[in-house]
Amino acid sequence: MAEARSGQSYAVRPSEASSPAATGGASLPPVHSGSAAAVSPGLSMTAAAQTQELFRCADAVCFDVDSTVIREEGIDELAKFCGVGDAVTEMTLKAMGGSVSFHTALSERLSIIKCSREQVNKLITDHPPQLTPGIKELVEKLHQRSVKVFLVSGGFRCIVEHVASQLSIPLHHVYANRLKFFFNGEYAGFDESQPTAQSGGKSRVISMLQEEYGFRNIVMIGDGATDLEACPPASAFIGFGGNVVRQQVKEKSSWYVSSFGELLKELEKI
């Protein structure tokens, strides 16, 4: 089998699964998610202010990719490209809303799509992912401040690596799922050993980053339930609704933004 990766592939056996120190920002207690409806306005503002402070002094920021860094859901675009868009979009909504486990949703969607390596590569070439307005400037600003930036996605590494290259994010800062293909290019499954293939996978990635780099303040930014559940261990979570608003996530976010411009303005306060 082989995996599509940045328009290329590498071979593996049919049974084989693909297998800086902290910058010293101020340390604040983690901001846990809670229903905004159950918190008084004064307390809610305090939680938002604390999240903003954690963002300003973060030594690492992790971004979700689909519907956050890019405008679309990669798996939905792949499904449309393969002619099974409607069935897969419905399952994506359930997965992002948290009504079914992520692993179940991913497995069922891919069993419907059954994309070939050629189809994946052609999708990236003919319909490259569209960056969300403001993300390039935000990542540049974070890099200028020596903040480490990671892409942590339940999407596919072959697509996410393309996005990382556009944003000058090192490929070893990408955590995403790997598609597997037989040597003839037909779909053969996905690497279930990747943490991002499971519910709670983004939490595990953040814990790994804390252990490897010694980060004190990691902020997770995303639109979906899988992003929300990454805090803790993330120090803070920022809900993003610039492409799609998921009500459950909006209600449970201490700070919810509709554009990356809001995050850029926050950094300008430093």
Could you give the residue numbers annotated as active site? 64, 66
Contact between residue 177 and residue 196 where contact means Cβ atoms under 8 Å apart? yes
Distance CA 117, CA 2 (A): 8
SS3 57: coil
Q: How far is CA 181 from CA 43, 120, 161, in A?
A: 51, 11, 18
Q: How many CB atoms lie within 10 A of CB 101?
A: 14
Q: Is the peptide bond before 41 cis (omega within 30 degrees of 0)?
A: no
Do the beta carbons of residue 232 and residue 30 sit within 8 Å? Answer: yes
* Closest of 40, 90, 32, 56 to residue 228, by C-alpha: 32
* Nearest in space to 182 (alpha carbons), one of 106, 118, 124: 118
Alpha carbons 237 and 252: distance in angstroms, whole number: 10
Cβ atoms within 10 Å of 73's Cβ, excluding its own: 24
Cβ of 122: how many Cβ atoms within 10 Å?
Answer: 14
